Amino acid sequence: MFDRIAWRYDFMNRLITFGFDQHWRKKGLKAVNAGTKDVLLDIACGTGDLVEIALSMGAIPIGVDFSSKMLHIAKSRVINAGFIKADACLLPIKDASVDIVTCGFALRNFTDLDKVFKEMARVLAPAGRLMFLEVYAPKNKFLKLGHSFYFEKVVPFIGALLSDKKAYSYLPQSVAYLPPTHKLFDSLYKAGFIDLCHKTCFPNAAQLITGVKNNYETGI
Ligand SMILES: C[S@@+](CC[C@H](N)C(=O)[O-])C[C@H]1O[C@@H](n2cnc3c(N)ncnc32)[C@H](O)[C@@H]1O
């Protein structure tokens, strides 16, 4: 599916989020103080948005994704970063070799979240930082109605017109697949993360989760 939508992925993201997606990515990277010489692994990097911003902040980013077409676009766009084709469940990265792990809008797509969290903990150095961005469905009844209408009707319609109908109809289904925050936190804690923090991003359509790898419970 991601190979099919890669060519229009960035355009569609900017359009359906009214350009907010890039603000969310910047906010996420600032939240984990991504900066000079931090080795940053962006898992499920897609076309390289987070990698490109991390590079501009002075970090040393590496993007990982299993879609050849997403990676092809990422590589031609961010030429000074490293990219690896791999599955998030089995990262070809050394234990404790990374300062920051990020993952933007991809948690919903992983079939085994616990396995991915374990891999993230394995590659992070002790006290390494973790940052996720994900779509968010507001809790307020009225906002929720508007949100559902937009993501279940408007986005699939625009997606069908400009990109791929099936892929953009999958978006609301994949949002439903994402576990609630307390369950995500339980899984992250079990994988060895502490200082977990959850924030929503304006206009309440994205969520930002950060954490730190526990120094004492490395499991490696
Ligand atoms: C919605 S896109 C997000 C792309 C990017 N992170 C962003 O901020 O826009 C999801 C990405 O996750 C990748 N992906 C999904 N499951 C994966 C897995 N198990 N291993 C590696 N990449 C995966 C897809 O190929 C796709 O590029």
* Residue 195: band (very low, low, confident or very high) from pLDDT cuts 50, 70, 90: very high
Give the Å distance between the CA of 161 and the centre of ligand 1: 22
Query: Given this structure, which CATH class describes domain 2-213?
Result: alpha beta
Check whether 204 has a pLDDT greater than 90. no
Kindly report the number of other CB atoms within 10 A of residue 131's CB atom.
26
Which helix or strand (DSSP H or E) is residue 63 part of?
strand 60-65
Query: Which is more confidently placed, 122 or 217?
Result: 122
Ligand 1, atom 12: closest residue by C-alpha:
44
Give the Å distance between the CA of 216 and the centre of ligand 1: 30
Give the Å distance between the CA of 106 and the centre of ligand 1: 5
Residue 24 carries which side chain, given as an amino acid letter? W
Query: Which is more confidently placed, 169 or 209?
Result: 209
Residues 6+ apart with CB under 8 A from 35: 57, 58, 59
Decide: 73 and 63 in contact? Cβ < 8 Å: no
What is the structure's pLDDT at 50? 98
- What is the Cα–Cα distance from 50 to 74, expressed in whole angstroms? 10
pLDDT digits over 52-90, tens only?
999 999 999 999 999 999 999 999 999 999 999 999 999
- What is the Cα–Cα distance from 48 to 16, expressed in whole angstroms? 18
Ligand 1, atom 13: closest residue by C-alpha:
44
Omega within 30 of 0 (cis) for the link into 179: no
pLDDT digits over 1-17, tens only?
888 888 888 888 888 88
Q: How many angstroms separate the Cα of 131 from the Cα of each of 146, 157, 197?
A: 27, 31, 10
What is the structure's pLDDT at 220? 45
Residue tagged 């996420």 (tokens): 28
Closest Cα to residue 168, out of 184, 180, 179, 157? 157
What is the structure's pLDDT at 157? 85
What is the structure's pLDDT at 67? 95
Of 70, 109, 174, 177, best ligand 1 pocket probe by most atoms within 8 Å of the beta carbon: 109
Residues with CB under 6 A from ligand 1: 2, 44-46, 49-50, 65-67, 70, 87-89, 104-106, 109-110
pLDDT digits over 145-164, tens only?
888 888 888 888 888 888 88
Predicted model pTM: 0.91
Q: For 208-219, what is the mean pLDDT? A: 81
Please identify, by atom number, the ligand 1 atom nearest to the C-alpha of residue 70: 27
* Residue 29: band (very low, low, confident or very high) from pLDDT cuts 50, 70, 90: very high
Query: Which is more confidently placed, 215 or 88?
Result: 88
Q: How many angstroms separate the Cα of 77 from the Cα of each of 67, 103, 181?
A: 16, 19, 33
pLDDT digits over 165-175, tens only?
788 777 767 77
What is the structure's pLDDT at 185? 97
Token pair, residue 12, equals 């569609």
pLDDT digits over 96-142, tens only?
999 999 999 999 889 899 999 999 999 999 999 999 999 888 878 88
- What is the Cα–Cα distance from 61 to 72, expressed in whole angstroms? 16
What is the structure's pLDDT at 216? 67
* Residue 212: band (very low, low, confident or very high) from pLDDT cuts 50, 70, 90: very high
* Residue 217: band (very low, low, confident or very high) from pLDDT cuts 50, 70, 90: low
